[in-house]
Amino acid sequence: VRRNPAEPEFHQAVHEVLESLTPALEKNPHYADYALLERLVEPERQIIFRVPWIDDAGNVRVNRGYRIEFNSALGPYKGGLRFHQSVNRNIIKFLGFEQIFKNALTGQGIGGGKGGSDFDPHGKSDNEIMRFCQSFMTELFRHIGAETDVPAGDIGVGGREIGYLFGQYKRLTNRFEAGVLTGKKLGWGGSLVRTEATGYGTVLFAQSMLETRGESLEGKRVLVSGSGNVATYAVQKAQQLGAVPITISDSSGWVHDPAGIDLDLLKQVKEVERGRVSDYAARRPGSTFHDKGSVWDVPAEVAFPCATQNELNADNARTLLSNGCQVVSEGANMPSTPEAIELFQGSKILYAPGKAANAGGVATSALEMQQNASRAKWTFERAEAELTAIMKNIHDDCLATAEEYGDPGNYVLGANITGFTRVADAMLDHGVI
C-alpha cells in the first residue's frame, strides 16, 4: 500500500491471489526464498506515455497510454489493450497481475502484461479512432515485438483498432511482423475462433464444472452481463449447448428477453451498428429494457458476468443464491467483489474465477502466434478443438490442485496455486532478476 497508493483494484487482485497461496507456501517453503513474492508483485517494467491526437473538429486532445510488462518468466509479455475512460495505472496493473496466472494456466508459454489508455471510444468517428490508434502506436512500437511483448484487444479494442495499430506498427518498423499483435482480422494473419474464444471458453468451463456433478447446460436459463465481444460469444456457445441466455447489458442499462436472446439481432446492433442494448430491446418484441437494478435480479440457473470488474456485489450474489443459481463462470476480469466471492464459496454453487474461466481468449491468441510463426492457417474446426482441449485442461488442472490441497471444488485456490507454481518455478530457475 505504501509503494502503490491509491491502487484499490491492484490491491484486491494481489490480495486474492496471495490469500490462496498459503497452503502452497506451507507445503513448499522454498517459494518464499529469494524474495520471490516481493518480485512477483512488482512489474518488470511500467511504461506510461503521452498520446496526442487531433479530433474531427481540429482540436488537439491528449490522453495517457500505458503498457505494464509484468512478468516474462514463461514467455513474451502477453495481454490486451483497454481503451476506456476509467483506465489508469491501477486498473492496468490489476489486469496485468491477473494475466500472469491466467497465461500460466493456458500452458502456452506466455508471460503477463496489459496496457491501454483513458481514451473513450464511445461516440468517436472512425477517423478519430484511427488517428488515436496511430498516435498510441507511435510510442508503443519501440517496446513491443513478437518475441518481446504481444498486445491484443480488451474493452474498447476489437478487430478495427487492432487493424489501425498493426498498420502503424508495420509502417514504423518496415516489417510485416504478424506475431506482434493478436486479434488480427482473418485476411492478414488472424486466427479463426479468436473472436469467439473468450466467450466460448467461459461457457465450456461452466459445462466442465457441471459435468463434475453429472449435469449439463442443456435447458438451463443463463444470465449474461455486457454486450461486447465476450458477452456475445458466451451467448452463442450457451445456445449451441442447449441453454437459454435471457439477459445482456451495457453501461446504460440491461435487457431481459425471456424467450432467449436473438443472437443475429444482437450482432447486428452491436457489431454492425455499434449501437446500445436499448436499441436491441426496441426491436425485439417481448424483451424489456431496464435502467435500474441489474441482470443479476432475474431468476436463472447460470450466470456469466462478461462486462467489467466489480460488477457483481454481495447483494447481487445473495439474490443469485436465493434464486437458485447453480453456476457462476466469469468471462470478465475480476467481475465479482471479494464479498460476493466469499458468499459463493460459502455456498454449494460452482464458481470459476476469471483467470481460469476466461483464459480461452489469450490461449487462442497463443494459437494465433503459433500460426503466424509457421505461416499456417488452421480451419475453424481445428482451432476450436484446440480451444476446447485447453479449456478442459485448465478445468482439470484447477480441480486436481484444489483436491491436492484438501479443498475439493475450490476453483479459486486451484487456479491461483496452479498458475503460481508454474511462474514461481521458472522465476527460481532464472535467478534473482
Beta carbon nearer to ligand NDP, 297 or 404: 297
Q: How far is the CB of 363 from ligand NDP (least distance, A)?
A: 10
Q: 24 or 340, CB closer to ligand NDP?
A: 340
The helix/strand/coil state of 197 is helix
Residue 250 or 257 having the CB closest to ligand NDP: 250
What pairing do the DSSP bridges indicate for beta strands 77-83 and 247-250?
A: unpaired
Amino acid at 377: K
Residues 6+ apart with CB under 8 A from 145: 76, 177, 180
Residue with Cβ nearer ligand NDP (168 or 229): 229
| C-beta of 231 vs 325, nearer to ligand NDP | 231
Q: Is 102 annotated as a binding residue?
A: yes
3-state class (DSSP) for residue 256: strand
What does the radius of gyration of the chain's CA atoms come to, in whole angstroms? 21
List of residues 6+ apart from 171 with CB closer than 8 A: none
Contact indicator for 332, 309 with CB cutoff of 8 Å: yes
67 and 76 in contact (C-beta within 8 Å)?
no
Alpha carbon distance 149, 181 (integer Å): 9
Is there a binding annotation on residue 229? yes
Sole binder of ligand NDP in the list 162, 332, 349, 415 (CB under 6 A): 332
> Is residue 333 within the footprint of ligand NDP (CB under 6 A)?
yes
The reply on whether position 7 binds ligand NDP by CB under 6 A is no
Catalytic residues: 114
Spatial separation of the C-alpha atoms in residues 95 and 71, rounded to whole Å: 12
| Size of site (CB under 6 A) for ligand NDP | 22
- Residue 85 annotated as part of some ligand binding site: no
User: Least distance (Å) from ligand NDP to the CB of residue 191?
Assistant: 12
Binding residues for ligand NDP restricted to 237-266, rule: CB under 6 A: 250-252
Question: Is residue 138 part of an annotated ligand binding site?
Answer: no
Answer yes or no whether residue 336 interacts with ligand NDP by CB under 6 A: no
Site for ligand NDP in 22-81 (CB under 6 A): none
Q: Which is nearer to ligand NDP, 7 or 409 (CB)?
A: 7
Cα–Cα distances in angstroms (integers) from residue 406 to residues 26, 126, 393, in the given order:
13, 53, 20
Provide the CA 229 distance to its chain's centre, in angstroms.
10
Contact 328, 316 (CB under 8 A): no
**Do residues 412 and 350 touch, judged by C-beta distance below 8 A?**
no
According to DSSP H, which parts of 142-246 are helical? 159-173, 194-211, 229-240
In this complex, which beta carbon is closest to ligand NDP, that of residue 362 or of residue 424?
362
**What contacts 98, CB < 8 A, 6 or more positions away?**
13, 112, 333, 334, 354, 355
Q: Is 365 annotated as a binding residue?
A: yes
CB atoms near residue 145 (< 10 Å)? 16
Residue 308 touches ligand NDP, criterion: CB under 6 A: yes
184 annotated to a ligand binding site: no
What is the rounded (10 degree) CA torsion for 223, 236, 280, 231?
A: 60
d(CA 332, CA 306): 4
Residue 49: what are its φ and ψ, rounded to 5°?
A: -145, 160
Sign of the dihedral defined by the CA atoms of residues 309, 311, 313, 316, in that order: negative
* Interaction of residue 306 with ligand NDP, rule CB under 6 A: yes
By CB under 6 A, residue 108 contacts ligand NDP = no
In the complex, what is the shortest distance from the CB of residue 85 to ligand NDP, in angstroms, rounded to a whole number? 9
153 annotated ligand binder? yes
The one-letter code for the residue type at 241 is L
138-167 binders of ligand NDP (CB under 6 A) = 153-156
Binding to ligand NDP by CB under 6 A, coded x per residue (else -) over 193-232, reads: -----x---------------------------xxxxxx-
CB of 331 to ligand NDP, least distance (A): 6
Site track 342-361 with ligand NDP (rule: CB under 6 A), x = hit: ----------------x--x
Summarize as ranges the residues that interact with ligand NDP (CB under 6 A).
153-156, 198, 226-231, 250-252, 306-308, 331-333, 358, 361
User: Residues at the annotated binding site for substrate?
Assistant: 78, 99, 102, 153, 365
Binding residues for NAD(+): 198, 229
